[in-house]
Amino acid sequence: MSRVPQHGLPMTLSVGEVARRSGVAVSTLHFYETKGLIRSERTVGNQRRYARAVLRRVSFIRVAQRVGISLADIAAALATLPVTAAPGREDWARLSAAWRAELDERIAQLKKLRDALDDCIGCGCLSIDRCRLRNPNDRLGDDGAGPQRLLVKK
Amino acid sequence: MSRVPQHGLPMTLSVGEVARRSGVAVSTLHFYETKGLIRSERTVGNQRRYARAVLRRVSFIRVAQRVGISLADIAAALATLPVTAAPGREDWARLSAAWRAELDERIAQLKKLRDALDDCIGCGCLSIDRCRLRNPNDRLGDDGAGPQRLLVKK
DNA sequence: CTAAGACCTCAACTAAAGTTGAGGTCAAGA
DNA sequence: TCTTGACCTCAACTTTAGTTGAGGTCTTAG
């Protein structure tokens, strides 16, 4: 594979190795690189070589995506990491904490939604215009004058 | 606005009325129609007229989208509704129950993720290759031979 | 009757997140 | 040396969920 120092860990990883270890496609790694989410050095032969830390970044990216955060936002968060060598535990912890807040919010939203749905199942009220699922701010039903507000805020 | 029978409710809604009441853009309603998510009759002058029930459908669509369900899946669910006039409460209730299951699953996933993150904040382990957040199946860390499995299953 | 505002269609455009392919280089084993 | 598999770049294509605009019709209040 690659030249390995005395002990057993290759110093750098090729794009294929990163792909295999992280589970994302090579093309995706290229893509992430164009988006500034990850970085690589090049060999004399112009091939990418990644520091092992890239695996952490990729993991972070996938986890964050899974929570529904856009690559742009993820890039912004990653940009707050020191560009210098290796981010410390506090760096990751800070980001983790930020994601945790995101997560908490999303969970809370989903729960509210689910509880509303529960009510709806009982009463069939998804078909009732004043349903609080549709109109969570307790505004009056859809025959009122104003525009109806939906949960979706986009 | 439109000709209204004795009592006060317009029988049908124009696209603009639906847009105002549902909070989605006219172009979006057109778009939903091309995707078969909603249906309309036409006036002699070729303008769309919607049954009031369309508001329910649109609400349902937005709520489902908010939960992260694709329009295609929503369309499939809506397709199980009777094409005949007005879906009854049981119809909506059935769909609601289905969504509830979806929701429950998503909430559970997010919670698992959050709990893992909690651990990570304590130990900074997002930077540690064996982190269970990255490797939830308790496979061994990233120096093992095989590909690393991520949470993201896509 | 006429002007304004709502509506119509259709095509083109956008953005996100990648994937696919063509055409060419690099590295390593037989 | 030769060939195979991994890499490289760059452009084009894909899907989802819409939005925007051009060019034209309807409807309604004044």
Q: Tens digits of per-residue pLDDT, B2-40?
A: 444 445 556 799 999 999 999 999 999 999 999 999 999
For B70, residues 6+ apart whose C-beta sits below 8 A from its C-beta are: none
DSSP B92: H
pLDDT for the residue numbered B92: 73
Arithmetic mean of pLDDT, A109-127: 65
CB pairs under 8 A between A and B: 160
Confidence label for B131 from pLDDT (cuts 50, 70 and 90) = low
Place of tokens 């036409």: B42
The predicted structure's pLDDT at residue A24: 95
Please tell me the predicted confidence (pLDDT) of residue A152: 33
Say what the pLDDT of residue B104 is: 83
- Report the distance separating Cα B131 and Cα B124, nearest Å: 9
Selected for mutation to probe chain A from B92, B99, B104, B133 (highest A CB count within 10 Å) is B92
pLDDT class for B112, splitting at 50, 70, 90?
A: confident
Cα B92 from Cα B146, distance rounded (Å): 47
The pLDDT value given to residue B103: 79
For the entire predicted model, the pTM comes to 0.73
Residue A147 to residue A24: CA distance in whole angstroms:
44
**Is the Cβ of B22 closer than 8 Å to some Cβ of chain A?**
yes
Using a CB-CB cut-off of 8 Å, the residues of chain A touching B152 are 23, 62-63, 65-66
Residue B109 identity (one-letter amino acid): Q
pLDDT in tens, A23-40: 999 999 999 999 999 999
The answer for residues whose C-beta is within 8 angstroms of residue A150's C-beta and 6 or more apart is: A134, A135, B22, B23, B24, B59, B62, B63
- SS3 label, residue B149: coil
Residue B126 has pLDDT above 60, yes or no: no
Average pLDDT rounded to a whole number, residues A87-94: 72
Res. B69 pLDDT band, cuts 50 70 90: confident
Q: Does A35 touch chain B (CB under 8 A)?
A: no
Whether B23 and chain A come into contact, CB under 8 Å, resolves to yes
Give the per-residue pLDDT at B7. 52
Residue range B84-105, pLDDT digits in tens? 556 666 777 777 787 787 778 7
Burial of A89 (0-12, 13-18, 19+ CB in 10 A): middle
Domains in chain B, ordered, with CATH? 12-109 (1.10.1660.10), 116-154 (no CATH)
Beta bridge partners of A41: A49
Distance of alpha carbon B122 from alpha carbon A7, whole angstroms: 30
